[in-house]
């Protein structure tokens, strides 16, 4: 069983590394909602279309009648239990994405996300 990683950024790096090796011809896109910015940078990004609460990752691969897969990645603790919390904005966006033809999930840890991606990609 893979070792649990405790930092969300490390979890995401592990997931992206695995995805690039496993699905070489597919496109995974990072949505930059989690960065720390100055007020001016934040205003610019909002004007450019940044949406607070958007999931961390988009997999641009239609499967099983769905248009693609979004993943909100939260970290897990050393025992693999949920550690991060989904905000109300995040949940509202996930619900919307699921209602318009995407698979949008919350994943606690990169290994859960890996399993969900495999299941999605095989559908």
What is the model's pTM? 0.87
* pLDDT, tens digit only, all 123 positions of the chain: 455 445 778 889 999 999 999 999 999 999 988 777 789 988 888 899 989 899 999 999 999 999 999 999 998 765 555 667 899 999 999 999 999 999 999 999 899 999 999 999 999
Q: Of all residues in the chain, what percent are helix, strand and coil, respectively (each to 5)?
A: 40, 20, 45
Q: What is the DSSP letter of 109?
A: S
Strand 103-108, strand 28-30: pairing = unpaired
Q: What is the DSSP letter of 66?
A: B
Residue 69 confidence (pLDDT): 98
Using CA atoms, how far apart are residues 52 and 50, in angstroms rounded to an integer? 7
What phi, psi does 111 have (nearest 5°)? -70, -40
Given a contact cutoff of 8 angstroms between Cβ atoms, the answer to whether 35 and 54 are in contact is no
Residue 58 confidence (pLDDT): 98
Residue 85 confidence (pLDDT): 87
Given a contact cutoff of 8 angstroms between Cβ atoms, the answer to whether 101 and 68 are in contact is no
Residue 1 confidence (pLDDT): 47
Residue 5 confidence (pLDDT): 44
Domains of the chain: 8-121 (3.40.1350.10)
């Amino acid at each position: 069983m893979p070792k649990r990683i405790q930092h969300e950024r490390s979890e995401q790096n592990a997931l992206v590394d695995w995805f690039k090796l496993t699905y070489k011809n597919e496109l995974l896109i990072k949505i930059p909602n989690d960065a720390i910015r100055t007020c001016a940078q934040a205003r610019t990004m909002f004007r450019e279309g940044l949406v607070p609460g958007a999931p961390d990752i988009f997999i641009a691969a239609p499967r099983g009648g769905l248009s693609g897969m979004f993943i909100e990645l939260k970290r897990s603790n050393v025992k693999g239990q949920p550690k991060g919390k989904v905000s109300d904005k995040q949940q509202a966006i996930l619900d919307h994405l699921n209602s318009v033809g995407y698979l949008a999930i919350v994943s606690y840890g990169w290994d859960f996300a890996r399993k969900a991606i495999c299941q999605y990609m095989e559908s």
